[in-house]
Amino acid sequence: MKYLEFKIAVLERTGLDERAFRESGSEIYIAANLENFHGICLLLHSILSSPVMLYFAEDNVKTSGVYTLRCGFLGKKIQRWVFVVVDIPKDNLNFPAISKDIVSAQLFEREIKEMFGLIPAGSPDVRRLRLHDEVWPDGYFPLRKEFVKPEKTNNTGKYYVFDRIEGEGVFEVPVGPVHAGIIGPGHFRFSVAGEPIINLELRLGFAHRGAEKLFEGKSAKEAQIFSECISGDAAFAHSLAFSLAVEQAAGIDVKENVKINRAIGLELERIYNHINDIGGMAIDVAFSYSSTLASIVKENILRLNEKLSKHRYLKGSNGVGQCALIKDKESRVCLLEVLSGAKTDIDLLKNILFSSVSFMDKVDTTGTLHRKTAEDFGVTGLAGRASGLELDLRRVFPGIYEKTSFEIIRGDKGDVLSRLNVRFNELAVALRVITELSGQINFSGKEDSPEAIIISGTGLGAVEGWRGPIIYWVKIGKEGKIERCKIVDASFNNWQALSCCVHGNIIPDFPVCNKSFDFSYSGGDL
């Protein structure tokens, strides 16, 4: 479907006037009202075959007396982000919930209610996500502009209501939020009948920092540092998505060398995280030798990162219009030498794991996430591709990847083994893509784009991080300060996949199921 065909179809089926469409970069904004908002969202969900990718509110009460909702879908074939935009009067905070028909909208609507006090009428679930009932009083909505922090945030006398599974022989097993390790805080409540798990309910929000609020009133340069701290193991991808959003808002053209270096950084981040997770899966089934080998590969990549950027996790290497990891021929030689050694070790690691009968028995058919479930919950990234979905922003918006042999890697079974296979195959693609891109760098010209004055505007930046899509939508005011920054990490919706894939498995299999996804607590909690 081409863009014009899409536009005609939407106009014909909604009766909208053509003036309801507004284009900005790779985004399309469709103006709606409270009466047709629900219907237009359902139509886009169907036509574009897209889950809700981002869905958020902004406070425009001071300037226009309304809150503005933006519900975003991804048009893979038309290569556009499509938003439905509706205003909600400050004296009537109800809006029609779409989560009763589009499951992937549910967490977003819970977030909107929690942070802005807007009420999704008809939503099947309006429980809080991050402002825990036990400590956070009613009537305080942090993302409103006039928000004032409550004086006291404890002992409210309220409790979070978990879904209870009752019946003869059913037991609840609570795990967390504090864990015996260095992982983030999350509460997992298992319901078991005998050994098999029949339900798992997650409760997160323990790592909530009010990140989106922290961006408000900051300059792009100041906010860049915050973007690197959203999820530490994806610092480069987050800072890149933020930079792209600001560059679009400010109309900044980025040089070819910068684009190449950014893609290299993105793939280096993918390599060290994938190899880390493969080692984690090995240790979770007591295969310590393989885990140690994976740790060696990861450490070598982190040391390479430090040589290229002066930071093991590539922090500080991205900026608006800027990125220079491979600065000269010597750094390129160093890059290729380390990657060559990594490829040898990764091949060895794969042979060791796949030749172990006991390891394969632990991962094959364990933790299956069915394709339909992944579609309904809007699971993206590696987790979705391992269940047969084909969504990768490097294919939708290829950019510099058009000059490489990049290919999408997918699985079909959706189990731990399928996610492991996708990781190994994506490692091979990343190693190849970096090698190809490094040969395209021009060392004779100036690396960075000229510094630009950040003026008012909106922009969207999105990249395919190692977990999946990372999306930033920014609104910059007249003084160059950020008025609203919406962040979506792939972990936000994807956490729901974990609660679905463990049904029928036993609790001792949960660690390897969890590690096969390896979602981010901080990225999901913001």
pLDDT for residue 114 is more than 80:
yes
pLDDT tens digit sequence for 502-526: 999 999 999 999 999 999 999 999 8
- 321: which 2 tokens? 């219009």
Q: Is 444 exposed, middle or buried (0-12, 13-18, 19+ CB in 10 A)?
A: exposed
Domains of the chain: 3-121 (3.30.460.80), 211-525 (1.10.645.10)
**Which residues have a Cβ under 8 Å from the Cβ of 325 and sit 6 or more positions away?**
261, 264, 265, 268, 308, 309, 314, 317, 331
Taking only Cα atoms into account, the Rg of the chain, rounded to an integer number of angstroms, comes to 23
Q: Confirm if 523 and 263 have CB atoms less than 8 A apart.
A: no
The CA dihedral of 257, 261, 263, 267, to the nearest 10 degrees, is 160
pLDDT tens digit sequence for 322-331: 998 999 999 9
CA 415, 184, 144, 127 torsion: positive or negative? positive
pLDDT tens digit sequence for 75-113: 999 999 999 999 999 999 999 999 999 999 999 999 999
**Residue among 174, 228, 168 nearest 193 (CA):** 168
| pLDDT computed for residue 164 by the predictor | 84
Q: Mean pLDDT across the stretch 241-263?
A: 94
What's the Cα-to-Cα distance from 451 to each of 236, 237, 253, 320, 462, rounded to whole Å? 20, 21, 10, 8, 22
Task: Report the DSSP pairing between strands 322-323 and 318-319.
Answer: antiparallel
Q: Mean pLDDT across the stretch 192-220?
A: 93
**Which residues have a Cβ under 8 Å from the Cβ of 428 and sit 6 or more positions away?**
343, 346
**Which residues have a Cβ under 8 Å from the Cβ of 242 and sit 6 or more positions away?**
223, 224, 227, 461, 472, 474, 485
pLDDT for residue 452 is more than 70:
no
pLDDT tens digit sequence for 151-205: 877 788 888 888 888 888 899 999 989 887 778 899 999 999 999 999 999 999 9
| pLDDT computed for residue 445 by the predictor | 65
Work out the mean pLDDT of the chain and round it to a whole number. Answer: 93
Q: Confirm if 53 and 23 have CB atoms less than 8 A apart.
A: no
Q: Confirm if 190 and 200 have CB atoms less than 8 A apart.
A: yes
Continuous H helices in 164-321: 211-215, 220-227, 235-250, 256-284, 288-309
Confidence band of 16 (pLDDT split at 50, 70, 90): very high
Q: Is 311 exposed, middle or buried (0-12, 13-18, 19+ CB in 10 A)?
A: middle
Percent of the chain with pLDDT strictly greater than 90: 85
DSSP 3-state of 375? helix
| pLDDT computed for residue 168 by the predictor | 86
DSSP 3-state of 434? helix
Q: What is the pTM of this model?
A: 0.96
Give the integer Cα–Cα distance in Å for 279 and 352. 12
pLDDT tens digit sequence for 374-396: 999 999 999 999 999 999 999 99
Give the integer Cα–Cα distance in Å for 435 and 264. 9
Give the integer Cα–Cα distance in Å for 258 and 243. 12
Q: Confirm if 314 and 268 have CB atoms less than 8 A apart.
A: yes
- 128: which 2 tokens? 């809080």
pLDDT for residue 1 is more than 80:
no
Confidence band of 413 (pLDDT split at 50, 70, 90): very high
pLDDT tens digit sequence for 263-310: 999 999 999 999 999 999 999 888 889 999 999 999 999 999 999 999
| pLDDT computed for residue 301 by the predictor | 98
| pLDDT computed for residue 384 by the predictor | 97
